[in-house]
Copies of this chain bind each other. A is one copy, B any other.
């Protein structure tokens, strides 16, 4: 807990642990309840501090969300994967990413009712998924459309499995997800319209 070093550029503050606790609690609450239902008071209680601390460190709720929803999809470089396997590879990566990180769930839940969160989601897909897809497609003009289609299926899966919890989608194991959705993403990435 005692932060020893790094006197060079930015001094390690004693409050860093608190800041981190707030951020973790915020992510969990935003992920579980969405933007408006996740209250500053509840987040503060989870982090075992006073609500006013949240304001002191993050200014207001909107900025807290912005900090909590910072997210990197960490997409792999699909150009180094055999072209016939990019769909399965991308599907597997996304599932793994979703299972172990609340952040994207927080973003998704919030984006449905909060304009700023929706904008963040659009930027995230434009700046992270977009280029990855573009690197894979011959005709650059097709890239946005293909990326959008991928988003369609990827977010739909996340929505039905983690948010709505449709039983038959929750029941799928990782292998089944890859086997079903992989070819879909493959077609959206490298295939043609109309089968």
Contact surface of A with B, Cβ cutoff 8 Å: 33-34, 36-37, 108-109, 111-113, 118, 121-122, 125, 144-145, 147-149, 151-157, 159-161, 163-169, 171-172, 176, 179-184, 186-188, 193-195
By secondary structure, the A interface counts as helix
Contact (Cβ within 8 A) A193 B176: yes
**What are 9 A-B contacts with C-beta separation under 8 Å?**
A34-B113, A36-B37, A122-B165, A122-B166, A145-B176, A148-B167, A151-B169, A152-B181, A153-B153
Complexed CA–CA distance, A176 and B188 (Å): 12
Chain B residues contacting A165 (CB-CB under 8 Å) are 118, 122
Contact (Cβ within 8 A) A166 B188: no
Complexed CA–CA distance, A106 and B67 (Å): 29
A122, A125, A180: most-surrounded residue (chain B CB, <10 A): A180
Contact with A160, one of B148, B161, B163 (Cβ below 8 angstroms): B148
Complexed CA–CA distance, A36 and B121 (Å): 21
Given known contacts A36-B37, A36-B113, A148-B168, A184 and B187 CB-to-CB distance under 8 angstroms = yes
Contact with A156, one of B125, B153, B171 (Cβ below 8 angstroms): B153
Within the complex, what minimum Cβ distance (angstroms) separates A63 from chain B? 20
Chain B residues contacting A157 (CB-CB under 8 Å) are 152, 156
Contact (Cβ within 8 A) B188 A180: yes
Complexed CA–CA distance, A84 and B18 (Å): 59
Contact with A113, one of B37, B148, B166, B188 (Cβ below 8 angstroms): B37
